Structure 1
Amino acid sequence: MTASMNIAIAAGGTAGHVNPALALAEELRERGHHVTFFGETRRLEGTLVPKAGFDFQPIEVTGFDRERPWTLVSALWRLSREAKRLTRLFEDDEALKPDVAIGFGAYVELPLVRAAAHLGIPYALHEQNSVPGLANKQSARGASLIAIAQPSVAEVFEQRGAASGRIVFTGNPVRRSVLAGERSRGRDALGAGDDETLLVTFGGSLGAHHLNERMTSLKRDLLAIDGVRVLHSTGADDYEATVRALALTPAEAERYVVRPYIDNMGDVLAAADLVLSRAGASSIAEIAALAVPAVLVPYPHATADHQTTNAHLLVDAGAAVMFPDARIDDDAFADELLALLRDDARRDAMRAAARGLEQARAAQKLADALEGLV
C-alpha cells in the first residue's frame, strides 16, 4: 500500500475539466491520500469542489482573448504572479506542499504546474479531449506523466517534446455518483418495465437543436415499435420549442418523456438500452463506463472536429455507430436507429465491446499512475 500523499489538483472552468478531476480526487481520498484543489472561486470549481468535501485554494488567473491580443499581457502577468505565490506558499508550509501535482487542462493549471516544476515536485497532466488545450501543450515537455483519454492524442504531445514513455492511456475518470447508477432504480424512476426497450437521447444546451428536430420527426416511427420507451433530454434552451413540435398526445406522453436536462445521469444511463447523443469527452466517458450501446452524432462545429475523434474510441471498439450531423436527416440514420432498437443481440454485442474498454476503471488507473510518480 502506498503511503499517504499530499496531492494538488488544478482543474477549472467547465464541467468537462472539473468532473474528471473530482472523480480522481474521490479515488485518491478512498486510498487515504489528502487532496487539495487549486482554482478560481468565481468559476465552476469554486462551487463543485467544496460541495464534494475537498480543500480548495483560490488562485487568480485569467485567460486571454485571441480577438483581443493585448489581453495576453495581463494574463501572463497574473500567471507569473500566482506561480511565484504558490512557490512561496509551498516553501513556507510543508503541510500544504504536494508530493505530486496534476492539471486537467485549463489555463488555471499553469501556476500550479510552474510552481511544482520550480520546486522539483513531479507533475502530471490529464487530457480529456482528442485536441489538447494550450495549457497542456505548453506544460507537456516537463511532465512526469501525461494521462490521455484518446489514444490519438499521444502524437500531439510527443511533437511538443513529451517523452513517449511518459504518455499513458488511462481513459477519462467518471465520478462515482455516475458509476453507482442502477438499472432497476433508473427504470423505476422512468416507469420503464423490464420488457421495454429504453432509448435515451441528449445533446446538451449547445448544439442539440438538430438532434431535437430529428427526434421530433421520428416520433411516430419510434413509438410504432412495440415496447419502445423514449427519454428525450432537449437541453434547457430548446425545451419549450421541442415540446411544442412533438405535440405529444396523453397516450404518447406515457412512452415519450421530454426533459430539459438529466440530473441523475448514472441511473438513466444504467437504465438505457440505447443512447443517442453528441460526442463530448464527458459523454463518451460516461457512456463507455456504463457500457451503453450508442448512436453518436458529433457536434459539427467543435474545434478541429474533435468530437468525431472522441466518438472513434467507441466506434472503433464496436460499442457505437456514428453519423455526421449533416447525415442525420437521411433515411440511413433512421433505419439504423430503428434497427438497433429492434435488435437485442446486436446491442448486447456493443455493450460487451464497451466493457472491454474498462472506462469504469479510468480513475483507478490514473490514481495508480500518480502513486507511481512518488
Structure 2
Amino acid sequence: MKFVLTGGGTAGHINPALALAEILQECDHEVFFAGTPQGVEARLVGQTDIPFVAFEASGFDRERPHTLVTSSLKILRSARKAKAWMCEVRPDAVVGFGGYVSIPVGMAAEQLNVPVVVHEQNSVMGMANKFLGKKAAAVALTYEVAGKDIADASKLIVTGNPVRSSVLSATREQGREMLGIPQDATMLLVFGGSLGARHINAAISSLKKQLLAIDGLYVVHITGPKEYEATCAELALTDEEASRWTVMPYQDRMAETLRAADCTISRAGATSLAEISALGLPALLVPFPYAAEDHQTTNARAYVERGAAEMMADSELDSEEFANKVLALVTDADLRNRMRAAAATFETENAAAKLADVVVDAAMRGALR
C-alpha cells in the first residue's frame, strides 16, 4: 500500500508522523510526506529516506483580515497541485498530523475519495485537524478529551502519541556514558522544550545549593539557546560544581539523554510527554502558560491524575512548594517507582503500531467502497 503523511509547523506534528512512517515501512508499505518547503518538516523528513513533496500553506492573522483571503487562496492553489500529484502517486490513504499544510493535502484526498485519517497529539484539537476531522475516515487521539469537537464519535479512537524507535531503543548505559555520569548516580534532567524556558531555568538555578548538597545527584540542564548565557551567569558554577551540574544550550541526542535520567522537570508539550511516558520517566511538569487554550495544562493533568507525574503552574515556580516537589522527586525513590508504574499504563511505546493499524484499516475499507 501507499500512504501520504502530512503535517507541519512544529516538530510536535512531525515526530509522531515519522514514528508512524517507521512502522509502515517495516511492513513494506510505501510512504510519502507532504509538507511546506520552508517548514521544520522539510528538515526533519530530509534526514530520512522518505520522499518529500512541498506545498505552500500558511495561516492568517486575525488582526489583519486580508490575510484570511491570501491564506485561503494559497491553500486552494496547493490543493489543486496536491490533487494532481496524488493522481500520479495514487495513495491508499492520507494521514494528517496538524499544521496548515495538512488542509490542502487532506482536501485533495477527499476530492479523490482517498480515505483521510487525522491524528491529534494534544488534549485540545488544532484547527486543521478539526477541519479535516469532520469528513475523516478515522480520528486518532492521544487524549480522549480532544475528541469533543468531532460530532461522529464512532470515528474516534485513542491510540496515544507515537514515539520514534530511536527513543525507545536508546539505553541508560549509552546515555550515562555519553554524559559522563556514573551508572549508580541519580540524574535530574531539566529542559523546557526546544526553545528553553526562562522561568524554569531561573527557578532551578535558585535551588543549586540544595540540589548539590544531595550526595550522588547529577543535574543535566538544557537551557535553550537563547537562555544559555544568562543561566550560566546565574548558576556561576565552580569547577567542582560543574562536575555534577552540566549546562548545555541544546541537545541533539535527546533519546540517550532521556534514557540516562532518573527524573525530569519539563514543559508539557505533546512530544515531551509522549517520550516521558514511553520511557516511564518520573516528572514534574510545568505547562507553558501561553499555549493555545492552555492545552499543556490539560495534557499534563492526564498524567497527574494517573499518578505518572506531578504538576506546578509556571506562576508558582518561585514558591517553597516547587522547591519541596523538586527535592522529593530527586530523593524519594519510592515516589519515582510509583510514577514509573503509572506511566506504563499509558502504553505509549505501542502508540505507533496502534495508529498504523487504524491507518491500514481505513485504507482497506476505502478500497472496498
* TM-score interval for Structure 1 and Structure 2 normalised by the shorter chain: over 0.9
Matched, 1:66 2:62: yes
Q: Provide the aligned C-alpha RMSD in A.
A: 1.3
Q: Within the alignment, does 1:193 sit opposite 2:182 as a pair?
A: yes
Work out the CA distance in 2 between the residues paired with 1:182 and 1:338: 26
What is the CA distance between 1:156 and its match in structure 2? 2.3
Tell me if 1:179 matches 2:168.
Answer: yes
Q: 1:90 to 1:250 in 2, by over 3 A?
A: closer
Q: C-alpha offsets along residues 317-372 of structure 1, whole Å, 9 cap, x if unaligned? A: 11100011111211111112112211112211111111121111111110011111
Alignment partner of 2:241: what SS? Answer: helix
SS in 2 for 1:174: coil
Correspondence for 2:106 among 105, 109, 113: 113
2:319 counterpart of 1:330: yes
Aligned to 1:312: 301
Q: Deviations over 1:223-246 (max 9, x none)?
A: 111111100111111000110110
Cα deviation, 1:283-312, whole Å, max 9, x if unaligned, reads: 111111111000001111111111101112
SS of aligned partner of 1:295: strand
Deviation at 1:59, TM superposition (A): 1.2
Distance 1:86 1:183 in 2: 43
Deviations 1:69-97 (A, max 9, x none): 10111211122222223223333x2xx11
User: Which residues of structure 2 form unaligned runs of 5+?
Assistant: 365-369
Give yes or no for the alignment of 1:103 onto 2:96: yes
Deviations along 1:21-75, one digit per CA (max 9) or x if unpaired, are: 1111111111111001111111112222122110111212222222211011121
The answer on whether the counterparts of 1:124 and 1:145 sit within 8 Å (CA) in structure 2 is yes
**Secondary structure, counterpart of 1:41 in structure 2:** coil
2:2 aligned residue (3, 6, 28): 6
Residues 1:41 and 2:30 aligned together: no
d(CA) in 1 for partners of 2:308 and 2:34? 36
Give the TM-score normalised by structure 2: 0.95
Aligned counterparts, 1:1-374, within 5 A: 5-91=1-87, 93=88, 96-157=89-150, 161=151, 163-204=152-193, 206=195, 208-373=197-362, 374=364
The 2-side partners of 1:235 and 1:82 are apart by: 35
8 Å Cα contact 2:196/2:223 also seen in 1 = no
- Aligned-residue offset at 1:205: 5.4
TM-score normalized by the length of structure 1: 0.94
Structure 1: runs of 5 or more not aligned: none
CA contact (8 A) 2:124 2:145 kept: no
Contact residue 229 and residue 255 of structure 1 kept, 8 A: yes
Match of 2:367 in 1: none
Mark the CA change 1:250 to 1:89 in structure 2 (over 3 Å): closer, same or farther: closer
Conserved 8 A contact 1:205-1:238 = no
* Aligned-residue offset at 1:206: 4.2
- Secondary structure in structure 1 of the residue aligned to 2:306: coil
